[in-house]
Amino acid sequence: MNDKKMSLKKQLESHFGDLLFNIVVQHGEISAEVAPENWQQVCIKLRDDAQFSFEQLIDLCGIDYLTFGEGEWNTDDATSTGFSRGLGKKGPGRFSWENRTTEKIDKRFAAVINLLSIKHNRRLRLKCFAPDTGILAVPSLVKVWSCADWFEREAFDLYGIIFVGHPDLRRILTDYGFIGHPLRKDFPLIGNVEVRYDEEKGRVVYEPVSIEPRVTIPKTVRKDARYADIQEQLEEDS
Predicted confidence at residue 83, as pLDDT, reads: 47
Q: Are 55 and 47 in contact (CB under 8 A)?
A: yes
Report how far residue 19's alpha carbon sits from residue 29's, in angstroms, rounded to the nearest whole number.
20
In order of their start, the domains of the chain are: 3-234 (3.30.460.80)
pTM value is 0.75
Rounded to 10°, the helix 3-16/39-48 angle is 130
Averaged over successive runs of 10 residues, the pLDDT of the chain (238 residues) comes to 80 93 90 96 96 97 85 52 48 52 76 96 95 89 97 97 96 86 85 87 88 60 58 67
Predicted confidence at residue 82, as pLDDT, reads: 46
Report how far residue 115's alpha carbon sits from residue 127's, in angstroms, rounded to the nearest whole number.
11
